[in-house]
Structure 1
Amino acid sequence: MTAEPIAAGETGQTRGTRYREITDDNGRVYRVGETDRDILGHSRKFMVYLPWVAMMAISVSEYAYGSAEDTLSSAHGWTQSNTFWILSIWVFFQAGIAFPAGWLREKGILTAKRATMTGAFMCLLGFLALSHFSNVWLAILGFGVIGGLGSGLVYATCINMVGKWFPERKGGKTGFVNGGFAYGSLPFIFIFNYGFDTSNYHRVLDMIGVYVLIVVLVSASFFKDPPKNWWPAGIDPLHRSGSGKSEKSLAKNPPAVRQYTPKEAIRTGMLPLMWVSLVLTAGVSIFGISFQVDFAKEVGFGPLVAASSMGVMAVINGVGRAVVGWLSDILGRKSSLVFVIVVLGLAQFGVIWAGDVRSEWLFLFFAFLSGFGGGAFYPMFAALTPDYFGENYNATNYGLVYSGKLISGLFGGGLGSMVVAAWGYNGAYALAGGISMLAAVVALLLRQPGRERDAAT
C-alpha cells in the first residue's frame, strides 16, 4: 500500500492542527493528523462513557418491561396479549427509526446531540403514557410508538457514534456501550417485582420517565461526530500498525476496503445476509426477554427466582456484550458472532430441560447463557457493519441492519405469545432454539466485501 495525498487542496486545519487525506491502494480515504483532543477539546473516551450512561438510562424500557406487566395489566385492565403487543410495537419503532435517523445525521440535517435530546423527551412521553392511559391504543401510541422512537434515536446515535470515534478498535468499545442497554435495567427489574403495585404505579413510572430524561439530556449535551474519513493520530491505517491492541485488532478485523453507500452495501449481498441473521437472532432474544419471568412462574418457581432469572439475564446480557466485543478485537468479529448465536440457541433447549426437572439452579444457569447469547450479538453486528462497509455511512448502513429488529419484535413478542398459547412454553422454546441455529448458519456465510482472502473478519 502507498500513502498519497488526494490533492494539495484537500488539506486543512482544526484547532490549529493541520490534517491531510491519504488513500490506500483500493482508493479508500483516511483523514489523518488530528487527535481526538484537537476535534473535541478532550479525550474521545468521553464518547464511550457518555453514550454508555445514556444507554443504561433507556434500558428500562425494554429489559425491565416484562417485570412490570402483571401490575400494568391489573392497573389498566389489560390482557397478557395487550401487554405483549405494547412491547412488540415499542421494539418495532425503536428499531425502525435507526435508518431514517442515520440518513438525517449523515445529510447534516440532524446532529448527534439533537437526535439524542429529542429522543430523551420522547422517552419521557412514553412513560407518562404507560402511567396514565388505560386505553390500550393510547398506551401503544404513547409508549409503543413515541417511546419506541425516542429510545431508538438514543440507541442508534450512541452505537454508531462510538464506531466512528474508534474505527481501529471498535469491538470492545461498541460492546461496552451496548452492554449498558441491558444491565442498566437491573435496579428497575427488582423495583417492578418488589416495589411496584396498583397503589404506586403512577408515581413510579412518572419518576422513571423524568430520570431517563435528565440522564440522557446531560449525556447528549456533549455528543459530537468526528469528521468524515477521520482516523486516529498515531495509528497507521495503511499498514495497520500502531499500539499493540490496535494492531492486533486491525490484523483480525481489517478496515473496510472502501466507504460503501447503503445501496452499494446492499448490492454486495452481505448487508442483506446480516439483516436476515439479525432478524432471526433478535427474535429469539426478544422472546426470552418477554417470556422468561412468566415461564418461571408457570413452572412453579418463586418470585425471587423469577426476578433473579431476569436480573441475571439483564446483567449477563450487558456484560456479555462488552466481553465478546473485546474478544472480537482479538479473535475476529465473525467467529465471535457465530459463537454467541450458537450459545443462545443451546440456552433455549436448556431452559426447557430446567423447567422439566424443576431445577431452579439449572434455570438460573440457562438464564445466564440466554442472557449472554441474547445480547452479545448486537455489538457484533454494530462492529461488523463499519468493518465491512466503512464508517462514513455507518449510521445508515447499521440502521438498515438493525431494522431487522422490526420483524424480530413482532414474532419475538406478539407472535411469540400466540406460539406459547398454541404449543406451550416447551414448544415455543424449542422453536426459538431451532431458529437461533439457523441464524448461526446464515452468519457463517458472511464475508468482508473485497477482502475475502484476508484474515477472518
Structure 2
Amino acid sequence: MTVQEPIESPYGGYHEVTDEKGRVYRLGESDRAILGHSRKIMMWLPWVAMFSISVFEYAYGSAEDVLSDAHGWTQSNTFWILSVWTFFQAGVSFPTGWLREKGYLKPRAAIALGSGLSLLGFLAISHFHNVWMAILGFGVLGGVGSGFVYSTCINMTGKWFPEKRGFTTGFVNGGFAYGAVPFIFVFNFAFDTSNYRTVLDLVGVYVMLVLAACAWFFKDPPKNWWPSEVDPLRRSQADAKTARALAKNPPADRQYTPMEAIRTGQLPLIWVLLVITAGVSIFGVSFQVPFAKDVGFGPLVAANSAGILSVINGVGRAVVGWLSDRWGRKTSLIFVILVLGFSQFGVMWAGNIHSEWLFLVFAFFSGFGGGAFYPMFASLVPDYFGENNNATNYGIAYSGKVVSGLFGSGLGSMVIDAWGYNGAYTTAGVISLVAAGLALFLRHPGLPRKKRRIEPNPQPISREVV
C-alpha cells in the first residue's frame, strides 16, 4: 500500500491511496467542498428525476386502450410504440455512458436534454394520429430522453456512494417504478377520448419541469473519489455497517476498461441475465392489465394490480438494495429472479381461477421480482469493475434491455396471439428459472474462487508514505 503526498485541488486538497492490487482511492475532499452541501442531495435529486420519467413505462399500459380508440391504432401498434421506446431508452445507455466518461456530456446537460425530449415524446402520442409519427416521437425521442435521465442518475449515485451503493442505487432506481402510480389511476379513471390531449400535454410539461429543475444541481465527483470519512481499505469498529457491506460486496480490485470487463466473461453474463429478467419484467408491465381485463376483472382490480406492481416494483428495488448490503449482491439477485419466475405462474393461476385477491397477491410478488433485479445489476457492475468506467460498463450491461423490449412487449403480444395468456405466462416463468440457474455462475473477477473476505475491524490505515 502507498499513500501519496497531499495534492492541492479546488476542493481543498486530497491524497491518493493505492492498495496492494494497484487500485487508487482519492481521499480528503469532502462532499460539501465539492457540491456545497451534503452528498445526500445526489441521492434525492436523481430519485426525483427517476420518479418523473416512470410514467413513460409503468403507466403506459393503463393508457393504451384510450390511445387505441382515439387514434385508431391496433393493440399491436400500441405495444410496438412501447417496444421502440424501450429499445431507445436502453440503447442510448452505452453511448451516454461513453460520452460522460470522456467528458463530452456533463450530467447537467444530459438531464436537460432528457427534459426537452421527454416533453416531445408525450406531445407526439397526444397530437399525432399517424402511428409512425407516434413511434418517432414517443418511442425514439422519448426513449432517448428517458435513457439520458436513467443512465445519468443510476451511474452518478454509485459514484457518490461507493461504500453503500446497494441501498442508494436501489432507492434511486425505485423511483423509476412507483413514480407512475398517480398516473396509473388517472389513466384508468380520468382519461378518455374527450380529454386525452389535455392530460398527456400536462404530463409532458410536468416531466419537463421536474427534470429541468433537477438538472441544475447535478454534478459528478472527481475520478477515484472516496468519502473521506470511510477508510477504503480498513474499517474501524465504529463503522460496523459499512464494514459488513464491504465484506459481503468487496470493491473492485481495479478500474476495468469496457474491453477488460468484457474479457472477464462476467460482463457478458450480466448482459444475458439482464436480457432475460428485464424481458419478463416488461412482459408483466405490458400485459398484466390486459390479462386482468381479459379474464373478467373490473377496472378497479386492473388498476390496483398495475398500481401494486408499480409500487412494489419500486419499493422492492430499495429493499433488495438494502438487503444486498447484508446478503451480498449475487445471493440477493438469485432470490429476486426466483420470485420473478414463480410469480408468473401465480398470476396465471389466479387469473384462471378468477380469484381477484390472489391476483393482487401475485401482482405484488411480480412487481417485487420485476424491479428489484435492476439495482442488483447496477451495483454489481461497479462492484466488479470499478466506478471510473461505470457509466460505460453499465451502459453495456443495460443495453440488454434493448433485446428485452423486443421480446418482452412486441414478441410477447405475438406469443399471446399464438398460445394465449397461459402459454405466454408459462414461457415467462420458465425462462426466469433458467436465468436464476445462470446467475449461479456470477463471480467477482478480482477475487479468487474461494471468496476473499475483507476484515471488518482491523486497525485504521497509517497515513505514512510507504
* TM-score w.r.t. length of structure 1: 0.97
Is the partner of 2:17 in helix, strand or coil?
Answer: strand
Indicate the percent of aligned positions where both proteins have the same amino acid.
70
Is the partner of 1:31 in helix, strand or coil?
Answer: strand
Partner amino acid, structure 2, of 1:268: T
Residue 364 of structure 1 pairs with residue 360 of structure 2: yes
Q: Which residue of 1 aligns with 2:3?
A: 4
CA contact (8 A) 1:332 1:456 kept: no
Structure 1: state its 5+ residue gaps. none
CA contact (8 A) 2:337 2:433 kept: yes
Residue 129 of structure 1 pairs with residue 124 of structure 2: yes
Residue 326 of structure 1 pairs with residue 322 of structure 2: yes
Mapped to 2, the partners of 1:188 and 1:442 lie a distance apart of 36
Partner amino acid, structure 1, of 2:115: A
Q: Which residue of 2 aligns with 1:298?
A: 294
How far apart are 1:455 and its partner, in Å? Answer: 5.3
Q: Which residue of 1 aligns with 2:451?
A: 454
1:199-247 CA distance string (max 9 Å, x none):
0001000000000000011011100000000000111111255722211
Residue 120 of structure 1 pairs with residue 115 of structure 2: yes
Is the partner of 1:199 in helix, strand or coil?
Answer: coil
Is the partner of 1:395 in helix, strand or coil?
Answer: helix
CA contact (8 A) 2:7 2:14 kept: yes
1:168-190 CA distance string (max 9 Å, x none):
00000000000000000000000
CA contact (8 A) 1:92 1:406 kept: yes
CA contact (8 A) 2:18 2:24 kept: yes
CA contact (8 A) 1:14 1:34 kept: no
Q: Which residue of 2 aligns with 1:34?
A: 29
1:102-130 CA distance string (max 9 Å, x none):
10011010000100110110000000001
Among residues 374, 391, 394, which one is paired with 1:395 in the alignment?
A: 391
Within 5 Å, give how 1:109-188 maps onto structure 2.
Answer: 109-188=104-183
Within 5 Å, give how 1:9-20 maps onto structure 2.
Answer: 11-15=7-11, 17-20=12-15
Within 5 Å, give how 1:227-242 maps onto structure 2.
Answer: 227-241=222-236
CA contact (8 A) 2:3 2:15 kept: no
Q: Which residue of 1 aligns with 2:434?
A: 438
CA contact (8 A) 2:169 2:378 kept: yes
Within 5 Å, give how 1:182-201 maps onto structure 2.
Answer: 182-201=177-196
Mapped to 2, the partners of 1:60 and 1:428 lie a distance apart of 25
Is the partner of 1:171 in helix, strand or coil?
Answer: helix
Residue 247 of structure 1 pairs with residue 247 of structure 2: no
1:276-319 CA distance string (max 9 Å, x none):
00000000000000000000001111110001000000000000
Is the partner of 2:8 in helix, strand or coil?
Answer: strand
CA contact (8 A) 1:334 1:456 kept: no
Residue 49 of structure 1 pairs with residue 64 of structure 2: no
Is the partner of 2:105 in helix, strand or coil?
Answer: coil
Mapped to 1, the partners of 2:207 and 2:432 lie a distance apart of 32
1:41-82 CA distance string (max 9 Å, x none):
100000000000010000000000000000000000000000
Is the partner of 1:30 in helix, strand or coil?
Answer: strand
Among residues 81, 95, 101, which one is paired with 2:96 in the alignment?
A: 101
Mapped to 2, the partners of 1:243 and 1:402 lie a distance apart of 33
Mapped to 2, the partners of 1:102 and 1:13 lie a distance apart of 25
Is the partner of 2:14 in helix, strand or coil?
Answer: strand
Structure 1 runs (4+) deviating above 4 angstroms are none
CA contact (8 A) 1:240 1:250 kept: no
Residue 381 of structure 1 pairs with residue 377 of structure 2: yes
Alignment root-mean-square deviation, CA? 1.2
Partner amino acid, structure 1, of 2:94: F
Mapped to 1, the partners of 2:453 and 2:22 lie a distance apart of 22
CA contact (8 A) 1:276 1:442 kept: no
* TM-score w.r.t. length of structure 2: 0.96
Partner amino acid, structure 1, of 2:246: L
Mapped to 2, the partners of 1:455 and 1:441 lie a distance apart of 23
1:386-428 CA distance string (max 9 Å, x none):
0000000000000000000000000000000000000000110
Q: Which residue of 2 aligns with 1:222?
A: 217
How far apart are 1:357 and its partner, in Å? Answer: 1.1
Mapped to 2, the partners of 1:74 and 1:352 lie a distance apart of 27
CA contact (8 A) 1:122 1:149 kept: yes
Among residues 36, 56, 59, which one is paired with 1:61 in the alignment?
A: 56
